Amino acid sequence: MTDRVHTGSRERQRYFDVEPRPQRITEGGIVLLVGKPPGDLHGEYQATWRVEGPVVLTDAQARIALLGAATVPQNNIIFDDTKPPIEIRATLDTTGLSVGSWTVFLELEPVGTGIERPAACGESDPIEIAQPPLAAGDDVSVTLRRPTPPPTDDQTLWVAIRNSTNALGYDRYVDFVDRVGCQERGSWDGFRGGHSRSHIALPFPGVERYRLLKATTEAFVMIYCRTFREVFRNVDVAEESARLDRTVDVAELEREFRRYLVDVPDGRGGELDVLPYLGIIRRKLGDVAVVGRDDDHERTDLCFGILAEKLTRPVLIELIWSYWMERAGLVRTLDAINWRFQNRPPAYPGRDPLASMEVEPLRPLSSLLWGIQRDQGHLLTAEQRNLEYAHAYGTQIAQPSRRVADNRNRFMAAFHNLLSECLDFYEQSDNTVIIPNAFNVLNGLKETHLLLTQGAANLYGEMPSATRQEMLMQQYLLGRPEVREFLPSRIMVDLPEGWMDAVDVMNRIQGWSDVSAMHYRDLAVFGEQLLLSIRFGEWPGVSNADQAAHWATYFRQEVQQYCHSLGAVQGHAPRRSPARPANGYATRQPSYQAFRG
């Protein structure tokens, strides 16, 4: 008990202890509070109890907590110095109080006038309120969460691939063309003069706008498909942190990616930082010099060797994107419009559905349409693309006119088997009582990687980038308002990209297909990302199934969306079929007919 100086009508305030019995109790118990005021108090005092803890109680809540007090909280007490010191008692009901530390105060204020008397304040030691033990019938919320395997450095490769391919998207391309090629958005006046410095020259007049569109498209693809290391600058760190199940930033991604790269000799005493897969290729070609470096501009042996840029900045474009775009009807839609604009009959028998449509709305695009027609000798033919699809993936748009020399017949089966194993893995992952095994996913990645690399020779040339440039131009033209006026579309249908309306209308009126181009777009975009991550990963040398589990988890959205779109394109919905038991638990897996059998 101590004295403390107090300013006011009272010169001193007395402090005393309030003893809690017990000092630690579970929620819902009763605590006896015993206050022992100093014995020299005399006269009438007003007693007030106060409770403080982790949360603030209102006056009403405090009164409820102190109900059953032996001395009523708001009551006057008379101290008589001729009698023994008294004890002030109260009970604290902890029902409803938060778990934590609580303190009870007893304030004694003198009542009446006359002789100045000191006030007194009592304070208890902290009262610890604990969680009550579980009892029979209690509802308990339990969440199971399996530990996440340690991260691997190749995860940054997937981040780079996904963000680099997204940078080549339709919306960014349209913005690039309108910003670079046009003075005013939506106007082609910017393609006159001022941009004639383009290195592309066509041997026929009257198609200046087409020439500049072609040059702009080439520049766009060259800029965004080779930003292999710079891609981390524009990464969405919040989304990537969610995908990787850990917090990352741009600096950390760049550090992990540098650790993932390997050093290979360039044949001239120096070294190059390349992907582990490309490092293996470089070691196989150790007798071939690396050319095309910054100091090679005056060398005369550039005609033979490995281009340094092919090793350090590989092109992140996959031909499967063009395959699915062609399957959507992108190419033949623009061909049909161009044939109608030239007043040519269709290449197939029967009446042309476009014959009754007036071509006047297409007049502002005449330079572009005539440019495409006159430039046919410099564009890839349908047969060239078809043969390349067969060489890379064993699939074709149409039966080729000649025999395919090297057909990758087993690729699609291996790829679809990998997707099926991923679906099984996701089903097991969602069941928290099962520890999923990604060993089958890892084997699927290895098999798909080997088949991809067997058909990779031509893909290191210009085929993927050339087809991407041509089809981006076709998308841009089909997304123009002039084409929308020529082919009236359903305005209220919300398609994600502007060119899809024209393709859907053409497919419908020609009777080619009733599947929306949106599904083919998803197959193209997500298929490209999946195959690039498989192609450039060093999967044959991986023996840890956790690495495959990371891949399947990171690309879960892409795998599931690809499977759904494939089912929509092939005309069947997902079905469920019995699958093998996993860890003693019988499970049923989502399945697609294309993946089974």
State in Å, rounded, how far the first CA of the chain is from the last one. Answer: 87
Residue 392 domain-assigned (yes or no):
no
Tell me what pLDDT residue 191 has.
42
499 within 8 A of 475, measured Cβ to Cβ: yes
Give the pLDDT of residue 292.
Answer: 59
Residues 246, 268, single domain; the answer is no
Last residue of a domain, one of 314, 332, 349: 314
Confidence at residue 74, expressed as pLDDT on a 0 to 100 scale: 53
Q: Is 266 inside a domain boundary? A: yes
> Which pLDDT score is estimated for 118?
83
Per-residue pLDDT at 481:
92
| Residue 400 domain flag | no
Backbone angles phi, psi at 128, to 5 degrees: -90, 120
Same domain, 75 and 120: yes
DSSP three-state, residue 271: strand
**How many Å is the Cα radius of gyration of the chain?**
38
> Does 255 share its domain with 296?
no
DSSP 194-243: S-TT-S---SSSS-HHHHHHHHHHHHHHHHHSS-TTGGGGG--HHHHHHH
Residue 342, Cβ density class (10 Å: 0-12 exposed, 13-18 middle, ≥19 buried): exposed
pLDDT of residue 196: 38
The rounded distance, in Å, linking the Cα atoms of 167 and 161 is: 10
Residue 429 lies inside a defined structural domain of this protein: no
**270 and 283 part of one domain:** yes
Closest residue by Cα to residue 162 from 88, 236, 73: 236
Instruction: Let me know whether 79 and 51 are in one domain.
Output: yes
What pLDDT does 590 receive? 35
Residue 454 lies in a domain: no
Q: What 8-state DSSP symbol labels residue 405?
A: S
pLDDT score at 525: 97
Q: What is the pLDDT of residue 135?
A: 75
Co-location of 241 and 305 in the same domain: no
Q: What per-residue confidence (pLDDT) applies to 576?
A: 40
Dihedral sign, Cα of residue 272, residue 273, residue 274, residue 279: positive
Is residue 568 domain-resident? no
Same domain, 253 and 306: no
Domain final position from 102, 128, 154: 128
Based on the domain organization, do 306 and 235 belong to the same domain? no
- 249 and 293 in one domain? no
Q: Is 177 within a domain?
A: no
What pLDDT is attached to residue 591? Answer: 37
CATH code of the domain in which 14 resides:
2.60.40.3880
Q: Is residue 310 part of a domain?
A: yes
pLDDT of residue 142: 74
Domain-ending residue, one of 289, 314, 339: 314
State the total domains in the chain.
3
**Do 68 and 26 lie in a common domain?**
yes
Looking at residue 589, what is its pLDDT? 34
Domain with 238 in it: 230-259
Residues of the chain predicted below pLDDT 50: 1-11, 68-73, 183-198, 296-305, 573-597
**DSSP-based three-state secondary structure for 101:** strand
Q: Within this chain, do residues 83 and 100 fall inside the same structural domain, yes or no?
A: yes
Dump strand ranges (E) for 1-85: 2-5, 12-21, 24-26, 30-35, 43-52, 75-79
Same-domain status, 115 and 43: yes
**Cα dihedral sign for 468, 470, 475, 476?**
positive
pTM comes to 0.72
- What is the predicted pLDDT for the residue at 534? 96
